[in-house]
Amino acid sequence: ALIASPSMAAPSTLFHLPNLGVLFDPQLSFLPHIRAMTRPAFPTSATSPSSATIRLPWGECIRERFPAETTLAGVRELVAQRCPHLPNFLLLQGLPRRRFSQADLSLTLRALGLHPSATLCVQPGDPTTDPSTIPSPTLCVQPREQPGDPPTLTAHRLNTDPDPSPGTDPRVPTIGGPRGRVLGLGAHSPRHHGGDDDNDERDREEPGAEDGHGGPQVPVAAGRAALERLQRGSREQLSPSQPTAPRPATTSAVPSLLTMATRGAITLITAPSRQYAGSLGSLPPRVAERLVMELVKKRWLRPRSLELFSGCSLGSLVLDCYPLTTNQLLLQLSAFPSLHHLSLASCRLLTDSGLESVSHLKKLQHLNLAACPRLTDRCLSSLTGLNCLSHLTLDQTKVTDCGMRDYLESAPSSLVHLSLNETAVSEGTLVCLPRALPHLRLLSIKHTQVTDVSALREVTALHTLCLDHTGVTESSLQTLGSHPNLSSISVSGLQSVSGDSVLHILSGLPLTQLKLPSRHTVSDAGLLALAGLHRLLELDLTDYSQATDQGLQCLASLTRLRRLSLSNTQVTDVGLMYLQPLSSLEELCLDRTRVSSKGVAQCVCGLPRLQVLGLAATLVGDSVVPRGLARCRQLIKLNLSRTRLTDTGLKKLRLWGLSQLSVEGTGVTEAGVTELLAACPNITSIRAGNLRPLALDQQSDEEA
């Protein structure tokens, strides 16, 4: 049965077929049999206006009514007024498919069969072109908020991972951000692994205050580049002499089958109306872990839902910062005897009695109890039977020397990683380690009451030691100077030892990583002691303002260095000469130093593996590009913020592998940035805010 739609009184009459669930327009010429069966109840007036829907290239629609005798040229004129940025375009009809030529512009809507209603599409191009020579268009642009606005681009901050906004060129994502900190490109310089940093002045700096990453973006320049590419693609489509293959139309992302199945399972498990009573114990471990993590992510994990997985061979369970982690929830852990990784960091509701269920996990290897403030020495009794335990983290708990001594008497010899940061332990715990944990490889006791570490000399397997912000004395530290295997040590913020003395003591160790003492107590004399650390891979001297060119002489012997930061030191072109032997260097930060184009160019030419370079707030100008940067073929990330760079140097920056660039606060122009984007297709992140012309007195002698 055919049921007339309430809209049949309108000029465009539609009919609804209930069994098919679709609307049919009787004016469509390709459905004559339907039109014969569905004559409109009210005849269309000859003087009624024509209703036209005009679809723009970026998805927006213009809906207007025209007299039936209006010519197609009048419709085109309206579109031209609404969209002045589209001087040349074609009008097309979708169903039936039809392209209107120059001759059609003089015909009326009635004569063209566009009365009483029609849908037209706008395609960029020349209306005088013969439609038969035009290939089918497939170019697609995402819609914008306002009809008639051209698609533009906006730049984002690096590693914030926002969903690209409509009209955004995927080549222009982000730069800067706390999670994606890059040497020379982020708000702060990178820090070494192994603990907190006492160089707190840079922690108090506003992000981007020094490196030029806090200003506005360049949507205009990026937008022009995108629009230029769009128009170039349209011209190629319209050119009969250069036929191109049709491009695939953009489509929305379709979730994977695994994602859809996960959502469906979560809905089945958690829906109150379903009351799922089955068992998920036969699921493969990876599938079960995915479901549990999804429940945690949505904060739907409860004791009842975790019980559904009883008998499953779960291997890992991470409940970090999950606010509903209670003692009752942990009672279900006894049903997962194969669990080998359990992380309960920042679960503030847990108490000692809640950890009793952990004692049943005989295969447990990794246990993280950091930042659980209600845990005391009593919780350690639940860990005594875990003979496979290799990693134990007790940071920011209330364990003491008494509890640790009792636990170490029966601790498994397999324990190789122990973290006791910000606890009440002291050297009373350390004296038990050589006998209880002979294979210990990592020990972290930052912000504790430890003053004597001489007992650690007997823990010969120790590789990593974190002593930040402790009261370790110089005499006890000297006992570690001859440790055979210590390769990574962090001594930031030591209270009773000068930085120069610490560096002299540690100069004989086979260190690959070193977190330096307080920058206020380290001078050139201490830095010279680093010359013996031939295995060092990373060195961060950021904000060590007492370091000069003389102290950098030690760097010439550190030929294995891969990452080096000299930001905010007194280094000049003279000090850069000592970096030329560092052929393995991959990341170099010279932000806020007094280096010039000549010194930087000579330096980087001898660093064939350089991938990341920071030159923010330095004296470099245009000449550094052809003399040095253009020869760094491996360069991926480059920071030239607040330098003397102009379009002259930017035109010569043609590095195919370059993906991230910052020219904020320089003398380049928007046109120069647009040209660079067109020439370097691999650039995915760019910062170019606060651009300004440079005065003559701001240009270096080399560029004047």
The yes-or-no verdict on residue 247 having pLDDT over 50 is no
For residues 560 and 572, what is the distance between their CA atoms, to the nearest angstrom?
22
47-133 folds as: Ubiquitin-like (UB roll) (3.10.20)
What is the spatial distance between Cα 411 and Cα 439, in angstroms, rounded to a whole number? Answer: 12
Neighbouring C-beta atoms of residue 374, cutoff 10 Å: 14
- The residues facing 342 across adjacent strands are 317, 367
Q: What are phi and psi of 693, to 5 degrees?
A: -70, 145
Q: Which CATH number fits domain 156-239+533-704: 3.40.50.920, 3.80.10.10, 3.40.50.300, 1.10.287.180?
A: 3.80.10.10
Question: Is residue 31 pLDDT above 80, yes or no?
Answer: no
Distance CA 350, CA 334 (A): 16
> Pick from 511, 557, 570, 568: which is nearest to 536 by CA?
511
Tokens representing residue 8 in the block: 């049949």
Largest CA distance in the chain: 105
Taking residues 304-325, report their average pLDDT.
94
**Cα–Cα distance, 256 to 132 (Å, whole number):** 40
466 pLDDT above the threshold of 60: yes
| Mean residue pLDDT across the chain | 80
C-alpha triplet 178, 181, 184: angle, nearest 5°:
135
| Residue located via tokens 């050119």 | 239
Instruction: Say what percent of the chain tops pLDDT 70.
Output: 74
| φ, ψ for residue 382, nearest 5 deg | -80, -10
Separation between Cα atoms, residue 87 and residue 85, nearest integer Å: 6
- DSSP per position, 610-677: --EEE-TTSS-BTTHHHHTGGG-TT--EEE-TTSB-BHHHHTT---TT--EEE-TTSB--HHHHHHHH
In the chain, domain spans? 1-44, 47-133, 156-239+533-704
The answer, yes or no, to whether residue 181 has pLDDT greater than 70, is: no
The beta-carbon contacts of 692-699 under 8 Å, at least 24 apart in sequence, are 692/665, 692/667, 693/667, 694/644, 694/646, 694/666, 694/667, 698/644, 698/667, 699/621, 699/644
Q: Alpha-carbon distance 577 to 594, whole Å? A: 14
Query: Which of 119-128, 141-150, 531-540, 650-659 is predicted least confidently?
Result: 141-150
Q: How far apart are CA 541 and CA 548, in angstroms?
A: 11
Q: Answer for the pair 616, 211: CB distance below 8 angstroms, yes or no.
A: yes
Structure tokens at 75: 């419709």
Question: Residue 58: its pLDDT value, please?
Answer: 80
Q: What is the DSSP string of 558-596?
A: -TT--EEE-TTS---HHHHGGGTT-TT--EEE-TTS---
Tokens linked to 301: 């994990």
Mean pLDDT of 651-666: 92
Minimal CA–CA distance to 488: which of 454, 511, 468? 511
Lowest pLDDT segment from 46-50, 290-294, 407-411: 46-50
Q: pLDDT tens digit string along 569-593?
A: 999 999 999 999 999 999 999 999 9
Q: What is the mean pLDDT of residues 233-244?
A: 50
Which residues, at least 6 apart from 452, have a Cβ–Cβ distance to it below 8 Å?
427, 430, 472, 473, 476
Residue 348, token pair as written in the block:
């503030």
pTM of structure:
0.64
Per the structure block, which two tokens stand in for 397? 């708990």
pLDDT-based confidence at residue 495 (cuts at 50, 70, 90): confident
Beta strands in 115-187 (DSSP E): 117-124
Whether the pLDDT of residue 12 is over 60: the answer is no
- The whole-angstrom distance between residue 241's C-alpha and the CA centroid of its chain comes to 43
**How do residues 597-640 score in pLDDT, each as one tens digit?**
999 999 999 999 999 999 999 999 999 999 999 999 999 999 99
25 pLDDT more than 50? no
Mean pLDDT of 90-112: 87
CA distance 296 to 288: 12
pLDDT value, residue 203: 42
**3-state secondary structure string across 381-412:** HHHCCCCCCCEEECCCCCCCHHHHHHHHHCCC
Q: Are strands 50-55 and 637-639 parallel, antiparallel or unpaired?
A: unpaired
Tell me phi and psi for residue 676, to 5 degrees: -65, -40
Give the strand pairing for 22-24 and 15-17: antiparallel
pLDDT digits (tens, 9 = 90+) for 351-404: 999 999 999 999 999 999 999 999 999 999 999 999 999 999 999 999 999 999
Judged on CB neighbours under 10 Å (0-12, 13-18, 19+), 136 is exposed
Cβ proximity of 689 and 610 under 8 Å: no
528, two tokens: 């010279």
- Residue 278, classed as helix, strand or coil, is coil
